[in-house]
Amino acid sequence: MSEIVLVDTSVLMNVLDVPGFNQRRETVIAEFERLVEYDAHLFLPMAAVFEAGNHIAQLADGRLRRRSAEVFAVQIRKALVGDAPWRPMSFPDQETLAAWLDHFPDAAMRGLGMGDLSIRKDWEAQCARYPMSRVRVWSLDGDLAGLDRAPAGTR
């Protein structure tokens, strides 16, 4: 039975070893290697890609910012061409984004930003698309870490 894993920004930053955002790197890399070995389907939500890029651009040390930006660019390019253990999720079309915006005011009242809301919506879409697979968001942050749906028939 396959597992579908949406990789959140907090995990991506540890995998990329971005200074100041890599405090749990050892644990993340161990889980990452386990998932790759297990042939889990790893996805990078667009929100995680954009948020990671924003965090990197804000690094105070210019040398670390450049190195991290170069690593980021190489790894995301590899994902785009299928030469990485994960692949980016597609950017939502206008209709999908409009539907997400309908949910945003309520999400914002719960402290859920647009990036996290989009990851939640990507997770919901994967759950609907793959009912026989475990679908989860791999996050080190509390808001998204609980998004983990067991395969149909095992709940």
Which phi and psi angles does 5 have, rounded to 5°? -125, 120
Q: How far apart are CA 110 and CA 9, in angstroms?
A: 20
pLDDT value at residue 143 = 80
pLDDT value at residue 154 = 74
With respect to residue 56, please indicate whether it lies within any of the assigned structural domains. Answer: yes
With respect to residue 10, please indicate whether it lies within any of the assigned structural domains. Answer: yes
With respect to residue 36, please indicate whether it lies within any of the assigned structural domains. Answer: yes
With respect to residue 70, please indicate whether it lies within any of the assigned structural domains. Answer: yes
**For residue 142, what is the domain's CATH number?**
3.40.50.1010
Q: How far apart are CA 4 and CA 90, in angstroms?
A: 15
SS3 track for the chain: CCEEEEECHHHHHHHCCCCCCCCCHHHHHHHHHHHHHCCCEEEECHHHHHHHHHHHHCCCCHHHHHHHHHHHHHHHHHHHCCCCCEEECCCCCHHHHHHHHHHHHHHHHCCCCHHHHHHHHHHHHHHHHCCCCEEEEECCCHHHHCCEECCCCCC
With respect to residue 154, please indicate whether it lies within any of the assigned structural domains. Answer: no
With respect to residue 107, please indicate whether it lies within any of the assigned structural domains. Answer: yes
- Residue of 125, 155, 128, 123 whose CA lies nearest to 138: 123
pLDDT value at residue 155 = 60
With respect to residue 46, please indicate whether it lies within any of the assigned structural domains. Answer: yes
pLDDT in tens, 47-88: 999 999 999 999 999 999 999 999 999 999 999 999 999 999
Q: What is the domain range of residue 124?
A: 3-149
With respect to residue 63, please indicate whether it lies within any of the assigned structural domains. Answer: yes
**% residues pLDDT > 70 (the chain):** 99
Q: How far apart are CA 129 and CA 21, in angstroms?
A: 32
Number of domains in the chain: 1
pLDDT in tens, 103-136: 999 999 998 899 999 999 999 999 999 999 999 9
